[in-house]
Amino acid sequence: MVLEAIKKRQSVRSYREKEIPEEVLQQILEAGRLAPS
């Protein structure tokens, strides 16, 4: 499972110009804040 995830990993080289809604951004930041260090 881990090896498969490593093999399928890829780097994003281009990004969309579409803005992330504020609510979604806040949810992402909150999830990061609550994650274990």
pTM of this structure: 0.53
Overall average pLDDT of the 30-34 stretch: 95
Tell the residue number behind the tokens 């979604």, with chain if given.
Answer: 24
The token pair that represents 9 in the structure block: 């990993």
Overall average pLDDT of the 7-35 stretch: 92
- What pLDDT sits at residue 37? 81
Distances (CA, A) of 10 to 3, 7, 28, 30, 31: 14, 8, 21, 25, 22
Task: Tell me phi and psi for residue 7, to 5 degrees.
Answer: -65, -35
Question: Which residue did the predictor score with more confidence, 14 or 29?
Answer: 29
Cα–Cα dist 31/21, whole Å: 16
